[in-house]
Structure 1
Amino acid sequence: MMNNFKKKLYSFILLLYISSLLSQVKSIGLPDIKNYNRSDYKGGTQNWAIDQDKNGNLYFANNNGLFQFDGTTWRNYKMTNADAIRSVKIDPSGKIYVGGYNEFGYFEPNEKGRLIYHSLTHLVTKAKIKTIDFVWKIHLFDKGVVFQAFSKAFYFKNNTIQTINAPKRFQFSFLVNGKLYLQDIANGLLEYKNKSLHTLPGTKQLNPTEIWSIIPLPDDKLLIATLNKGLFTYANNSLQPWNTETNAFVKKNSSLGGIAIKNKFIVINTVLNGIIVCDTNGKIIQHINHKKGLQNNTVLTSFIDNKNNIWLGLDNGIAFVNENSPFTYFGFSYDISTVYASIVHNQNLYVATNRGVFYHSWSQNFKEDVFKLVEGTTGQSWNIQVIDNQLLCGNNNGAMVIQGDRVSQILDVKGYFGFKKIPGKDNFLIGSNYNGFALFEKKGNNWNYRNQISGFDNSSSTFEIDEETVWLKKDGLLYQMTLSPDLKSYAKIKTHKAITKNYSGIGSIQRINGKVYFQTKNHFFKYSKDQETFYEDKTISALFQKIPTVNLIYEDQLGNIWYTYGQGLGMLQKQNNRYQNSVAPFSNLTGELVSDYLSINTINQKNIFIGLTNGLAHYNPEQASSFVTIPKAYIRNFTFQKDTLLLGNGQKNTTKYTLPYASNHVQFSFSSPTYENLDNVEFSYKLEGFDEKWSPWSRMFTKEYTNLSEGSYEMKVKVRNSYGVQSKEATIKFSVLPPWYRHFFAYLLYLIAAIAVIVYVQKTVKAKIRKNKYYETVEQRRLYLEKESKIRQEQYILEKEIEKLKNDKLKIKILAKDKELVSNSLQVVKKNKILNGIIHKLKEINHDNLDETLKTQFTKLQKSIIKEVNSDKSWKDLEKHIKNVHYDFLKRLKEQYPTITPRELDLATYLLMNMSTKEIAEIMNISNGGVELARYRLRKKLELNKKENLIGFLMKI
C-alpha cells in the first residue's frame, strides 16, 4: 500500500517537474514587448486576423489590405474588389485565403514570387446571392476551405462552392479539434457535419451575446469566450459559467476571444484592458496592457507563432510578445529603475536602486502590483545583503538595517557600498564606506557599528577579506591591508601594481569555492601567506581559456560562476562538478548591465534576478535550452533592370537565373523570420565570383552590385540572431550573359570579318607594293636629281665661298699694303719735313761769307733738296689709293651724312684704318689737339652720344 502511494507520489512529482519544463508562461515579470504602429507597416489601424506560412512570414488582415512581414520588410497586397480584409488563413500548400466585404479568394505567388490575388466569388451564383457582406472567419475544414459571412458560409472544395445558409444569422465560426462550430443568433451554437448544421444543446442562452472564440480545455471541455457575458465551459451538453478569476476579469473588461498556447495556457483578448494569460484552471499568470507596454488596450485578435510567441492584432497597431523567452522584466511599469542588487528575505523581494530600496511580496502574484519604496531608503542604494538573518543596506545615507517595509536602524551615517564577514571571526563585519572601511560587531542578534578602521581612507565596492587581510582594488592597484589585532587600524599596508610579472595590471578580486582569487587577463591566482607570493590556479584559469577577457566575476549560491566581458554577460553553469559555458541566452542583455556592478541574485534553479540599467531581469535557466534556436536566412528580393523576383513566398524556384548584360546592376534584400529582439539581428553576405570574403555582420539587409562582368555568380547570406547563433547559408545562383559584342556569335562574326580584312589587306598590300615599287623608282630618280642639284648648288656655294675667301684674303693683303703704304708715306713725310728743315736752316746761313765756289755748291745743294721735296708725289698717291680702296665706305658715309666735308671724310677713313692720333696729325699736317678737335666735330656731325664708340660706328657703315 505504501509502495503504491510512493509510486503515485513520485509520478505526481515527475509530472509536476515535466509540466514545469513544458511551461513557458512566467508569472514573474513581463515578457519583452515590441509594438508596430501604422507608420511601421504603413497601413490601416485595425488588424483582425493573423497567420503564418511555412517559411515563417507573418500575415495580417488589415483595414487597408493584407500585410506580410518577414522580419525586415512589410509588404502590402490588395484584393481585387475590396481594400479591407477581415480574415486570413494559410493552407499547407501555401495559398493565402482572405476575406473582405463582398469578396473572398486567395493569394498565390506567380513565377516571380509576387502574390497575385485570385477571386472565388465568381463561383457564387450572383442571382441568388446579391450581397455576401463581410467574410469574418476562414477555416481549413475537411480538405476544403470555409468562408464565413453573416448570412451564409461558403464551403470551397474541388474548385466548387457549396453554400451553407444560416438559420437566422451567423455571428462567428470556430474550428476546434477538427470540428466546425458556427453561432446563429437564434439557435445558439451549431456544428456543421455531414453537409448539415446540428444544434449543440444548451447553447441557446448565448444568443443575446457574441461568441468570439471557442478554446479546447482538458477533459474534452470547450471554453467559450463571449463579448459581454464572460466565459463559459461546455461539456456533456451542459453550459456552465467558468467561475475563475479570469472570468471575473473578462466580465469587467469584455472579451474579444482568445487562443490556446500548447493547450496549457490561454490568451484572452479584451476590449478595455489588453490581454491576460491564464492557465487551464483560470488562474491569471500574466496581464499585459497599455501601462505595461502595450500600445493599445483593445486587442482584436491573438496568434501563437511557430516559436510559441504571441502576436496581437490591436484596434490600432500590432504587438509582439516574446513569451517563449527565459527572460521577463521588471521595468518602468513596476516603478523601479537602475538596479544595483536584489535579495529575497522574509517572503519579500528587495531591490536596491538609484532611487532607494523597493520591495514586492515574493509569495504573491506580480501581475498587478508595483514595487513599493522601503521607508527611509530614499537615495542611491549600492547594495542589499542578508547577513545572519539581518537585512543590511549600503545606502548613500548610511549603513541601514531593514525590517519589512521600513528602516529599523541606521548603524552609521556614512555612505556604504557593501559588507563582508571576517573569516574566523563570525561576530565581526567589515563595511566599505565612502571614507575607507568600518568595523561592525554583533551583539546578541544585532549588528552594531564599532569603529572606523584608521590608516586608509580610499573607498571601493570591490574588496574581499581573507583571514585578517583586506584586499582592495582601487585605481589600478591592489592593496593588501593587514588588520591590527584590535581591528582598529592596519598593521601593514602593501600595494601591488601587478599580480605576476607575466601579466600586467589587476583584473578583478572574487571569491570562488570559498577562496579569494585574483584575476588578470583570465588567469587566476591565489596568495600564499607563507611565501608572500601569488601563484596560479591552472584549474580555474582553464575554465576561462576560451572566454573573452573578463571584467567582473561572481559565484552564486548554486556554484555557477557569472562573468562580464566588455558589455556582455556570461555564465559557467555548474553541472555535476563540471562547468558548461552559457553566453547566448544573455546576448540580449548586452549594454544593459550596470557598469562595474554585477548584480546576480540566484534564488533557486528557476529564479535568477539580474540587475539592469532600466530595471530587473528574471531568468529561468530551465527554459533557455529550448529558447535559443538556429535562425533561418532568406534572400527575399532579387532585383535587376526594373524587375524583381520575390523569393520565399512558396513559389518553385529555378536553380539558376540568367540575366542579360544590361541587367548587370543587381540588388538583394535579406530576411529572417526571427522576431525576437530584431534590433540585434545581423546579416553577413558574400557574392561568389565577386567578393573575396564575407561582409562584416551588420543590420543592413540590402546589398547592391553594379557593373558585374559576365560570368556565373552565387549570392550567399547568413543571419546571426540576438543570441549570437548563426544560420545556415541561403544561396541563389545566377549568371550574367556577355554583351552582344562579346557573345560567341559575335566572336565568330569577328573571325569572319578578320579573315575578310586579312584577305583584303593582303590584296591591297600586294597592289600597293607594286605601286610603291614604281613610285619608289620615280622617287629614287627624283632624289638622285635633287641630290645632284644639291651637290651642284653646294659646289657653287663652295666656289662662292672660295671666291669670298680669296676676296677676303685680297682685302687683307690690300689692307696690309695700305698700312705699308701709309707707313712709307709717313716716312716720306718725315723725310720731307726733315729736308724742309734743312732747307730752312740753309736759308738762315749767311751766303756772303762764303766764297763763290762754296756758295755755288751750296746753292746747288739747296736747289737739289728743294727739287727732291717738290718732286715727291707719295702723299698724293697715298690719298688716291685710300680713296680707291675705301670708295664704297666713303660713298655710304656721304649718302648717310650729306653735310660731311672732304677733310672729315679723310679723317673718317684714317680712323677706319685704325691709325693713331699722331699718325693722323702727321698725315693731315695738324697738331694732336687738332686731331681731337676734328674727331669731336666728326662725332657731332654723325650725331653720336658720349657712350658710343666712333671707330665701331664707322665700321658698321
Structure 2
Amino acid sequence: MSLNRATANTMMPWSLMFLLFAMIFLRFDGAARTNVQDTSRIQGTPRITHYSKKEFNSDSQFWTMCQDNEGVLYFGNNDGAQIFDGEQWRGVNLPNNSSIRSLMVSFEGKIFAGGFNELGTISRDEFGKYQYTSLINLLRSEDRNIENVWQIHEVQGHIVFRTYSMLIAIANNKAITLPSASKFSYSTVIQDRLYATDSEGLKSVDLNSLDVSLLVRSNEINGEEIVSLLPGIQQDELLIITKPGSFYRYQINTRRLAFWKKVIPISSTNLITCAIKASTGNYYLGTLGKKVISLDGAGMLNNTEAFYNLQDNTVLNLFESIEGNIWVLLNNGLDCIDVKAPVTTLFENASIYDATLKDDRIYLATNQGIFISRGIEKNPLLTTSDFEKIAGLDGQGWSFQYYEGHVVASHDRGVFVIKGKTFYKVGDVRGVWKILKVTERNNYYLVCTYEGLWLMTYDAKRGFEIKHKLEGFIESSRDIVESDDAGIFWVCHGYKGVFRIKIDGQYKRILSVEHYKDQNGLPSPFNVNVFRWNREIVFTTNQGIFTYNAPENKFKPHVFLTRVFGTKLNVRKILQYGDKTWFAHDNEVGYFISNDEDPKLQKGLFLQLKGSFNESMECIAPVDANTVLMGTNTGLYAFDLNYDAARRPAKTVINAVRYRSDTGPIFCTLATDSQNSQKLPYKTSGVTLDFSAPGFQDRLNVQYSYLLENVDDKWSEWQDEATKEYSMLAPGRYVFRVKARSLLGESAAEAKYFLEILPVWYQTTWAYIFYLILGGLAIFLIVGWVRRKIRREREKTRAEEHEKRKVLELELERFKLEQEKEEIKKDKDLLEEDVIHKSKELANYTMLLVKKRELLADIQDELKDIKEAVKNDTSRHKLRELVKKINFNLADEEHLQVFESNFERVHHEFFAELKTSFPDLSQKELRLCAFVRMNLTNKEIASILNISVRGVETARYRLRKRLSLNHEEDMAGFLDKLSSSSADSHGFDGDEKDLQM
C-alpha cells in the first residue's frame, strides 16, 4: 500500500537511507534466522486446549482476560467474569448484569473490571467466594454515563479506564476524567507511558501534567484504524498495527514513522482485531475471519498448525499468561496454545515402535508402515502433514539400524534398505525384529526373526545379502546382545527365560544352547530383557536387575542399578546416550545421569505419556543432549530437556472448605494456622476441601496427593480429582496437607489447612475439669463413707449381742402375732360368711317383697273388677275401703326404708363409693341404683316402688344422664365396678342389660 502524496514528499529525502537500512536489516534478519535454525531443536505442533460452553457454562463470546499473581485466570464475557483456577470455573456478575469488556491486574494484585456504565474490582473473600465491588461512585454523577469500558491500564500510579468518550484515571480513591474530542478507539501502556488513539491519530498522555501529545497523525497511516501498539524489534521503537494489516515502525526518540510490511493482502476482506508480542519475541495477530497469524521476532510468518485448529475463525482478543501460554479469546469459545511447553506433537494417528534421525529426515516404524519426514535442517518445525508413508512398506515396522551408511528397516515382511523414499528388499526372510551387527566379524549381521537367526553380509558391490539360517535355534530373538566372548550371544524370551547360545566360527549353526529359567539366581523366566550398560551385560527382571557371573554360573543382582531402581520396579528398557541413561519401567520412562554416585530418576517431564508406550518395545530416540523423541501408541512426541519445571515457583491453593449441616453446606474461612484453626461442631457429618494449582504450565494434566494428619499414615496416591471429602471425623485437631504436580514434572508447594472438630460438651476441657473436681469430691465422700462404715460396723458388732437378746423376744412376739392373725382371719371369714348370708336374706326379702306387692296389686285389680260387678252400695263401699287399704299398703315406704338400711349395711362400700363419686344423687336415685345393682327388672322395680314400668324407664334414663353414661354402656356393670367387693360373692352376676330407652 502506498503512502499519501504529502507523506511521500516529506519522506523522499530519506528514501535512499531507508532503502539502505532495509537492506542492512534484511541481511541481519536472515543471518539471525539462520543462526536460530542452526540451534533450534526439533519441534512439533504445540498442544492446544479447547474450552467450550461445556466447561465454563456461560456465554461463549469472550472479550478480555487477565491473570492474578497466583495464576488464577479471569475472563470477561457477556455474562460477566468467569474465573478459572485450573480446576473449577466460577462466575461473578456485575450489578447491572452487563458484559465485562476489560480486565486488568495491578502491580499490587488487585483485579479491575469494566463493563457497561460500571467499573470496579473483583476480589475473593475469606471463604473463597469471589465478589465484585463497584467504583462508579467515585465519578461525578454527570460522568457516570460512560457506556462500555474497553481497556484498563496501570500507569504513573493511576488505574486508567478507557471508554469511547473519555479516559478515567483513579488514584487514592479520586477520579479524574479526560474527555475525547472524537472517540478513544484504542489505548495501551508501554514502559509506563500511556498511549491512546482517536480520529486524529496516535497520542501520548501524561497523567501527572494532563498533557496530551499527538505523535502520529491519522493521515500518516492512510487513515487506517490502529488496533495495536507493541514494542518494536529495536529498543527505542514501537510497532503500529492497523486493522487492514499494515505494520509501521515508529522511532520514539526521533519520532520517525516508516511503513514496514503488510500481512493481509489488499484484496482480502480479513481484518486484524488484536495483537500481542509474546515473551519469546514472536508476534501473534488475531483476525476477524482467519484465526491467528504468527510472526517470529523478525516479522517472518510462522506456519504453526496449532493456530489453524482453533474452535472459531473470529478472534476477539489475545493474551499471554505468566507461564507463556497463548490464550485466544474467540467469538465462540476459548483456546489455550501451549507454545512454551517442552513437549510437542510431531506425528499422530499411528503406533510408533522406533524412530531415527538420519540424512536430515526422521524415519518412523509404525503399525501402519514406514513413514519419512521432509528435510528438517531448514525448518525443524514438524507436523503430521510433514510425514509421508513410503509406498510399498505398508504393514508392521519394528526397528531401524544404520549400517554401512544405509537405513536398514526391520519389518514384518522382511529386511528393507531405505534411502529417501526409495527402498529395496534384502532376501526373502519374513518376521524380522531387528538387525544385530557381529563385532568379531566384519560385515556380518544377525537377522533376528520370530523363529531364530539368519546370517546377513554386506559387500560394497553387492550390498546386503541374506546367506542362510543358523541351525539349532528356533526361538524368537527380539532381545539379543552379543557377549564379550567370541560367538556367544544372550537371547531373552518374554515367557521362556534366558538363552545363552554359542555360534560356530562360520556362523552356520548353533553349537550349544543353555537355557535359564528360575534357576541360577533368576527370580522368574517371565519378563526378562537383556541390554548393555557401561560395557556390562545386564538382565532386567520383575525383581531387580542382574548380571551373569561366569565362574559361578549364576545371576547376581547388579549393585548400582539395583540401588537406583530397587527390586519392585519392572524395568523393561535401558538405553545409554551421552551422559544419560534412559529407561522404561512400569509404563513410565525417564533418565538419570549415568556417572552420578546417587542418581535421581527424572520422570516428571514424561508422565503425560504414562501408559501409552508399546510394552517391551518402548520407543526412546535421543537426538542430542537437549532433545529426545518418544513414540507411543498415539504418535511421536519431541521433548526439550532444557525445560526447567522449577523455573517458576508454584503453590497449591485451597479454594474452598465446607461442611454439611442440617440446613445445608456451610463454608469455612480459608485463613488458618496452627494457632487459629477452623473449629467445626461435633455433629459435622462431612468436610469437603477443594484445591488447585493455578500456576502450572500444564493446567490440563494436574495431579494431587494429600494427607490428613492424625488420620492418614502416608500421602495418598496421585489422583486427578481436585477435591477431597472426609466423613465422620472424630473430635480432635487435624491438619490437611495437599500438594500438586503436573505431568510436565512441575511441582507445587503444599498447602495446609488446620481444622478442629469440637467435642461434645461432656468431652470438653471444662467438662474434664468438672470431672476432676467431681472425682475429688467422690474420693472425699468415699473416704468419709468408709470411715463411717467402720464406725457402723463397730456399732453393729456391739448391737449384734443386743439383737441376739431380742431375737427370742421377737420370736415370741411373732408367734403371738401369728396367733392373733389366725384369730383375725377366722373372724374375717365369719364376717364374710355373715355378709353372704345377709345378702342372700336381703335378696330373699326383696323377692318376697316383690311377690307380696305383686300379689297385693293383683288382689287390688281383682277387687276393682268385683266392685264394678257388685250393685250393692254397701258391698261396693266395703270393696272401696279394702282397695284403699291395699293402696296404702302399697304406698307405704317403710319396707323400702328397711330394704335400704339392710342393703347399705351389706354393701356399705358400694354406697360409700357411689355417694363419693356422685354426691348430688337423691335418695330415690340411690334406691334405684341399689335395685339396678341387684339386677332387678323394670317390672320388679315398678312393683316395689308402686309405679309404672314407664316410670321406671324414665327414672333409669335420668339416672344414666346423672351418671354420664353413654347409651351403649351397661348401667349394672358400671355400678358393679364401683363396689370394692366382688359382686359374685353376694350372688349378683350383673348380666342383665338395661332396657332400651
Q: TM-score, normalised by structure 1?
A: 0.70
- Which residue matches 1:155? 169
Q: Confirm or deny that 1:214 pairs with 2:234.
A: no
1:732 is paired with a residue whose SS is strand
In structure 2, how many angstroms separate the alpha carbons of the residues matched to 1:522 and 1:85?
Answer: 60
Alpha carbons of structure 1 residues 664 and 793: separation in structure 2 relative to 1, 3 Å: same
- Report if aligned partners of 1:573, 1:582 keep a CA contact under 8 Å in 2: no
- Which residue matches 1:807? none
2:443 is paired with a residue whose SS is strand
- Which residue matches 1:450? 467
Q: Could you tell me how far 1:752 is from its partner in structure 2?
A: 13
- Which residue matches 1:544? 564
- Which residue matches 1:637? 657
- Report if aligned partners of 1:343, 1:350 keep a CA contact under 8 Å in 2: yes
- Which residue matches 1:604? 624
1:136 is paired with a residue whose SS is strand
Which residue of the other structure, out of 257, 280, 303, is the alignment partner of 1:239?
A: 257
- Report if aligned partners of 1:631, 1:721 keep a CA contact under 8 Å in 2: no
In structure 1, how many angstroms separate the alpha carbons of the residues matched to 2:629 and 2:152?
Answer: 44
- Report if aligned partners of 2:645, 2:744 keep a CA contact under 8 Å in 1: no
Alpha carbons of structure 1 residues 664 and 468: separation in structure 2 relative to 1, 3 Å: closer
- Which residue matches 1:375? 391
Which residue of the other structure, out of 164, 172, 189, is the alignment partner of 1:175?
A: 189
2:689 is paired with a residue whose SS is strand
In structure 2, how many angstroms separate the alpha carbons of the residues matched to 1:651 and 1:133?
Answer: 42
Q: Confirm or deny that 1:522 pairs with 2:537.
A: no
- Report if aligned partners of 2:499, 2:516 keep a CA contact under 8 Å in 1: yes
Which residue of the other structure, out of 353, 358, 362, is the alignment partner of 1:349?
A: 362
In structure 2, how many angstroms separate the alpha carbons of the residues matched to 1:216 and 1:655?
Answer: 52
- Report if aligned partners of 1:355, 1:381 keep a CA contact under 8 Å in 2: yes
Q: Could you tell me how far 1:618 is from its partner in structure 2?
A: 0.7
- Which residue matches 1:406? 422
- Report if aligned partners of 1:285, 1:367 keep a CA contact under 8 Å in 2: no
- Which residue matches 2:117? 102
**Which piece of structure 1 moves more, 35-44 or 193-202?**
193-202
Q: Could you tell me how far 1:79 is from its partner in structure 2?
A: 0.7
User: After superposition, where does 1:510-589 map in structure 2 within 5 Å?
Assistant: 510-520=531-541, 521-526=543-548, 528=550, 531=551, 533=553, 538=558, 540-541=560-561, 544-546=564-566, 549-574=569-594, 581-589=601-609
Q: Could you tell me how far 1:613 is from its partner in structure 2?
A: 1.2
- Which residue matches 1:54? 69
- Which residue matches 1:484? 504
In the alignment, structure 2 segments of 5+ residues that lack a partner are 1-27, 786-806, 826-997
AA aligned opposite 2:367: N
Alpha carbons of structure 1 residues 55 and 167: separation in structure 2 relative to 1, 3 Å: same
**Which piece of structure 1 moves more, 47-56 or 623-632?**
623-632
Q: Confirm or deny that 1:717 pairs with 2:738.
A: yes
1:377 is paired with a residue whose SS is strand
Q: How big is each residue's C-alpha offset from its partner over 1:495-521, in whole Å with a ceiling of 9 and x where there is no partner?
A: 221473264446211122445433343
In structure 1, how many angstroms separate the alpha carbons of the residues matched to 2:97 and 2:85?
Answer: 24
Q: How big is each residue's C-alpha offset from its partner over 1:747-770, in whole Å with a ceiling of 9 and x where there is no partner?
A: 999999999xx99xx9xxxxxxxx
Q: Confirm or deny that 1:730 pairs with 2:751.
A: yes
In structure 2, how many angstroms separate the alpha carbons of the residues matched to 1:415 and 1:481?
Answer: 21
In structure 1, how many angstroms separate the alpha carbons of the residues matched to 2:233 and 2:267?
Answer: 17
In structure 2, how many angstroms separate the alpha carbons of the residues matched to 1:561 and 1:460?
Answer: 24
User: Considering only CA atoms, is the larger Rg found in Structure 1 or Structure 2?
Assistant: 1
Taking only the aligned residue pairs, the percentage that are identical comes to 23
Q: How big is each residue's C-alpha offset from its partner over 1:759-790, in whole Å with a ceiling of 9 and x where there is no partner?
A: 9xx9xxxxxxxxxxxxxx9x999976775579
AA aligned opposite 1:218: Q
Q: Could you tell me how far 1:266 is from its partner in structure 2?
A: 3.4
AA aligned opposite 1:470: F
In structure 1, how many angstroms separate the alpha carbons of the residues matched to 2:545 and 2:644?
Answer: 29
Alpha carbons of structure 1 residues 20 and 498: separation in structure 2 relative to 1, 3 Å: farther
Q: Confirm or deny that 1:685 pairs with 2:706.
A: yes
Alpha carbons of structure 1 residues 128 and 486: separation in structure 2 relative to 1, 3 Å: closer
Q: Could you tell me how far 1:233 is from its partner in structure 2?
A: 2.6
Q: How big is each residue's C-alpha offset from its partner over 1:157-180, in whole Å with a ceiling of 9 and x where there is no partner?
A: 221221122232121211112111
2:625 is paired with a residue whose SS is coil
Which residue of the other structure, out of 454, 479, 483, is the alignment partner of 1:462?
A: 479
AA aligned opposite 2:175: I
AA aligned opposite 1:266: Y
- Report if aligned partners of 1:139, 1:145 keep a CA contact under 8 Å in 2: yes
In structure 2, how many angstroms separate the alpha carbons of the residues matched to 1:405 and 1:459?
Answer: 30
1:667 is paired with a residue whose SS is strand
1:173 is paired with a residue whose SS is strand
Q: Could you tell me how far 1:403 is from its partner in structure 2?
A: 1.4
Q: Could you tell me how far 1:662 is from its partner in structure 2?
A: 5.8
AA aligned opposite 1:135: V
In structure 1, how many angstroms separate the alpha carbons of the residues matched to 2:91 and 2:523?
Answer: 59
Q: Could you tell me how far 1:707 is from its partner in structure 2?
A: 5.1
Q: How big is each residue's C-alpha offset from its partner over 1:460-508, in whole Å with a ceiling of 9 and x where there is no partner?
A: 4222233423322122321222223332322222322147326444621
Q: Could you tell me how far 1:439 is from its partner in structure 2?
A: 1.6
Q: How big is each residue's C-alpha offset from its partner over 1:607-643, in whole Å with a ceiling of 9 and x where there is no partner?
A: 2111111111111212246569664242533445446
In structure 1, how many angstroms separate the alpha carbons of the residues matched to 2:469 and 2:706?
Answer: 61
1:40 is paired with a residue whose SS is helix
- Which residue matches 2:400? 384
In structure 1, how many angstroms separate the alpha carbons of the residues matched to 2:760 and 2:645?
Answer: 54
Which residue of the other structure, out of 702, 713, 717, is the alignment partner of 2:723?
A: 702
Which residue of the other structure, out of 484, 490, 506, is the alignment partner of 1:471?
A: 490
- Which residue matches 2:242? 226
In structure 2, how many angstroms separate the alpha carbons of the residues matched to 1:120 and 1:793?
Answer: 105
Alpha carbons of structure 1 residues 349 and 199: separation in structure 2 relative to 1, 3 Å: same
In structure 2, how many angstroms separate the alpha carbons of the residues matched to 1:673 and 1:617?
Answer: 25
- Which residue matches 2:803? none
- Report if aligned partners of 2:645, 2:745 keep a CA contact under 8 Å in 1: no
- Which residue matches 1:616? 636
2:96 is paired with a residue whose SS is coil
In structure 2, how many angstroms separate the alpha carbons of the residues matched to 1:787 and 1:276?
Answer: 123
AA aligned opposite 1:180: L
**Which piece of structure 1 moves more, 279-288 or 312-321?**
279-288
- Report if aligned partners of 2:342, 2:643 keep a CA contact under 8 Å in 1: yes
In structure 2, how many angstroms separate the alpha carbons of the residues matched to 1:208 and 1:465?
Answer: 72
Which residue of the other structure, out of 270, 284, 288, is the alignment partner of 1:267?
A: 284
1:717 is paired with a residue whose SS is strand
Q: Could you tell me how far 1:35 is from its partner in structure 2?
A: 2.0
RMSD of aligned alpha carbons: 4.2
- Report if aligned partners of 1:229, 1:251 keep a CA contact under 8 Å in 2: no
- Which residue matches 1:927? none
In structure 1, how many angstroms separate the alpha carbons of the residues matched to 2:708 and 2:539?
Answer: 48
AA aligned opposite 1:103: E
In structure 2, how many angstroms separate the alpha carbons of the residues matched to 1:196 and 1:47?
Answer: 34
In structure 2, how many angstroms separate the alpha carbons of the residues matched to 1:407 and 1:253?
Answer: 46
1:170 is paired with a residue whose SS is coil
- Report if aligned partners of 1:376, 1:406 keep a CA contact under 8 Å in 2: no
Q: TM-score, normalised by structure 2?
A: 0.67
In structure 1, how many angstroms separate the alpha carbons of the residues matched to 2:355 and 2:692?
Answer: 39
State the number of aligned residues.
Answer: 752
User: After superposition, where does 1:520-919 map in structure 2 within 5 Å?
Assistant: 520=541, 521-526=543-548, 528=550, 531=551, 533=553, 538=558, 540-541=560-561, 544-546=564-566, 549-574=569-594, 581-624=601-644, 626=646, 631-639=651-659, 641=661, 642=664, 644-645=666-667, 655-661=676-682, 665-678=686-699, 680-688=701-709, 694-706=715-727, 708=729, 710-722=731-743, 727-737=748-758, 788=819
AA aligned opposite 1:462: D
Alpha carbons of structure 1 residues 89 and 629: separation in structure 2 relative to 1, 3 Å: closer
Q: How big is each residue's C-alpha offset from its partner over 1:690-713, in whole Å with a ceiling of 9 and x where there is no partner?
A: 556554443333333455555544
- Report if aligned partners of 1:570, 1:582 keep a CA contact under 8 Å in 2: yes
In structure 1, how many angstroms separate the alpha carbons of the residues matched to 2:673 and 2:285?
Answer: 39
In structure 1, how many angstroms separate the alpha carbons of the residues matched to 2:275 and 2:60?
Answer: 20
Alpha carbons of structure 1 residues 443 and 74: separation in structure 2 relative to 1, 3 Å: same
